[in-house]
Structure 1
């Protein structure tokens, strides 16, 4: 079939719908960076935002080269194979009713979103350079095979009967487990970061989010774009896509109100941070089930996700967490990892055959509560466990391997160094920390989101020593 004939076979309405959804979903990636920037101290704000841009850049190249083929190419039950490397033959051939190239682009955005969330585990501590090879390897060996297992026609978990509408396991469990693995490795480095005396995790300090404006913008963008994230998963404009958007919004709303209300009950103050985390908890819980549950169930999911997520968040503030060097700067473990695990399991409880069939073609056996299918619950548990073990174990190994390479030490330096005084002609005897305490912006970036962050910032000569 020629490209033009294949294009004529595609639905223009569905194509336009998924194209618009893709544009909206792309905004989630920098919005995740905004959220991490808001959570970080002002000395780390730009370095916490920047990995999100690295994620979309590296993932785009990797997806074109290998990722799409490994995730959706023909292969075995775990890997998709190499039939579509470099997008050979990926043009207008319909996938459902949209061109395959658009399907690939939509799935790329999923991959980059998961990656942007996952590398939050390195916020305020991890160096930026090692993230580039890590992201490429992670997309190749962690995300692509997991997406293939869950969503590909011949994937292991798909054939097992797992219900995962928009990514409870490939999106949230994968990102949360990866972030947790990175964070633990930075606390207990094994290779070059461990051998170097200047790289020690002495800097573990809990702090409040420094920039609520970043959190506010991130909340607005993510909440809005996640409606397209779930609705677009149907790959067509039909009543099921409409329903998915509606239950997604409702679950986020109930989650935001629940978390914020619990905080108000305890402190007597309303909190944007609590509202943000509650909405995220709701979005996480609804992701695997958006195409399988009704409106009333969505409200309950939001309340459940926010309530349990808030309790899980307390873990990082305990004495035992400090003793174990537990760091979760982006709160990915409480919201994404545990929330994704919970969302995957409750999908097996409350999925409904009637709702799944709103697109006119999907047939499922349903879940426990409405359809009496107890077997679905065990399938969901198996999916969640495999997703966590695959993501956590594989990410830990990959991060450690990158740390083995000279020059790619993953942990920022934490040594004492001498800095010149403000007058500039003598050395101050004050000892200051390098990299992490001074700020990752100062050590890893050439710019800052805040004025006068480090000495000499006002003396700007970007082309000094360069012939123009």
Structure 2
């Protein structure tokens, strides 16, 4: 009897195959649904990216400054997390990823999603990278694709990118900026600089997206954007009152190491999460991220050892961050060989910028936000145009794989971001400085930002 049942089931299966094939060939639409595996991964990735700002970046930057300024840096990271999160749901997400009409459409979104108006808990994300499915709608003979995670999860994930980008700029003006002016500047910068560039590169309407610019997880949108703003801010604020043209010793190197380790850990959500799915592309981006970071950390350590005669913990941590920055735009497009090349090259370039160019030119980029994030982002964006391989995503290739046009597009994206961010940051600085003031006075700076801005000290000695 058991054998007869098995035979009947097999027969039924065989007879149903032609019908199944006919349904597939006829293009029967499969109703899009939320994929619980993708959603679970993206919630975790979102939490990992938040971890990068607080406590990761807060500890990394906080350890590098002097003890009288550490609380100020931690406070700046915390308040940015709060302020930009609210700005993002109020209008930032809509401006970055929404749609507008007419001449503005390629440059900025509209306000249709302000305060997440019209977005419901069960809505699917309209954005996807991989692992997507047809919605059933066909436009110009092409099935419309839709993501497999809730729209609100995508909004949350992108919120953490919006948070960390202005936080990176802190490294350029640490130890000398007024807190009130800092908060206002950061909010305005997110509104008028970050949101438009995110729209250019990541929105389906964006002009750089239509041009074909590749930025898997934020090399242009996050790192070049923040790095160039950091340089402008450092130049316009001027040097610290006691800056002697070289780095002031960090007050807590263990904080630096812990912060860098948390950044390395959280960056897996940053890069591997940018595929918006728990699939092989996420695994490939994860691997590329780790290998590039390892190569960059090792390269910087060796440079320290050869040139400075001793390997330093601050050096290897800085190299790791440089590697993380450079692999960010390329992580979804390059293989392990590409990751190794990017990691080694970015440490060579950033080390040269930090150790030789900055002292030579004399600008006071306190924690090398420009030297690591700005320069590292530029290296990563350009090498994406060189090393993108169809072995990772078949639709994309760089100059070394027969597509030199991609390198030209990457250079356009880099240059346009540099120009817009430089001009925009300059204008915002002037406005905020005129109304609220940005530079701390000599007395406040000498006392330290912790006491002068917050009335607190990080380390208390008891008798």
TM-score by length of 1: 0.84
- The answer as to whether partners of 1:203 and 1:436 remain within 8 angstroms in 2 is no
- The answer as to whether partners of 2:57 and 2:260 remain within 8 angstroms in 1 is no
Q: Give CA-to-partner distance per residue, 1:367-387, whole Å, 9 cap, x none.
A: 1102x1111111100000111
The match for 1:123 is: 174
Name which of 276, 282, 293 aligns with 1:241.
282
Task: Check if 1:155 corresponds to 2:206.
Answer: yes
Runs (4 or more) in structure 1 with deviation over 6 Å come to none
Q: Give CA-to-partner distance per residue, 1:123-152, whole Å, 9 cap, x none.
A: 001011112221211111000110000000
Q: How far apart are the structure 2 equivalents of 1:23 and 1:150?
A: 23
Q: Which has the higher helix share?
A: 2
Task: Check if 1:43 corresponds to 2:68.
Answer: yes
Name which of 45, 48, 51 aligns with 1:24.
48
| Cα distance, 1:319 vs structure 2 | 4.8
Name which of 226, 235, 241 aligns with 1:202.
241
The match for 1:328 is: 365
Name which of 442, 446, 464 aligns with 2:451.
442
Name which of 81, 84, 89 aligns with 1:64.
89
TM-score by length of 2: 0.85
1:26-175 → structure 2 map (5 Å cutoff) = 26-30=50-54, 31-75=56-100, 76-91=105-120, 92-95=122-125, 96-175=147-226
Cα RMSD (Å): 1.7
Q: Give CA-to-partner distance per residue, 1:164-211, whole Å, 9 cap, x none.
A: 1111110110111111111111119xxxxxxxxxxxx63334412121
1:262-277 → structure 2 map (5 Å cutoff) = 262-277=303-318
Q: How far apart are the structure 2 equivalents of 1:314 and 1:273?
A: 13
Q: Are residues 368 and 316 of structure 1, via their aligned partners in 2, closer, same or farther at CA, if it must alter by over 3 Å? A: closer
Deviates further, 112-121 or 281-290 = 112-121
- The answer as to whether partners of 1:168 and 1:341 remain within 8 angstroms in 2 is yes
Name which of 396, 401, 406 aligns with 2:426.
396
| Cα distance, 1:335 vs structure 2 | 0.7
Local SS of the residue matching 2:175? coil
Q: How far apart are the structure 2 equivalents of 1:413 and 1:112?
A: 28
Task: Check if 1:302 corresponds to 2:343.
Answer: yes
Task: Check if 1:368 corresponds to 2:399.
Answer: yes
Local SS of the residue matching 1:436? helix
Q: How far apart are the structure 1 equivalents of 2:223 and 2:216?
A: 12
Q: Are residues 159 and 261 of structure 1, via their aligned partners in 2, closer, same or farther at CA, if it must alter by over 3 Å? A: same
Name which of 290, 303, 314 aligns with 2:331.
290
- The answer as to whether partners of 1:125 and 1:411 remain within 8 angstroms in 2 is yes
Local SS of the residue matching 2:364? coil
Q: How far apart are the structure 1 equivalents of 2:43 and 2:306?
A: 43
Which runs of no fewer than 5 residues in structure 2 stay unpaired? Answer: 1-30, 126-146
Which runs of no fewer than 5 residues in structure 1 stay unpaired? Answer: 1-6, 189-200, 358-362, 415-433, 453-457, 460-468
Name which of 412, 415, 419 aligns with 2:440.
412
| Cα distance, 1:121 vs structure 2 | 2.3
Q: Give CA-to-partner distance per residue, 1:27-61, whole Å, 9 cap, x none.
A: 10021121111111111111122111111111011
Aligned length: 404
Task: Check if 1:346 corresponds to 2:383.
Answer: yes
Q: How far apart are the structure 2 equivalents of 1:380 and 1:449?
A: 44
Which of the pair has more CA radius of gyration? 2
Q: Are residues 316 and 126 of structure 1, via their aligned partners in 2, closer, same or farther at CA, if it must alter by over 3 Å? A: farther
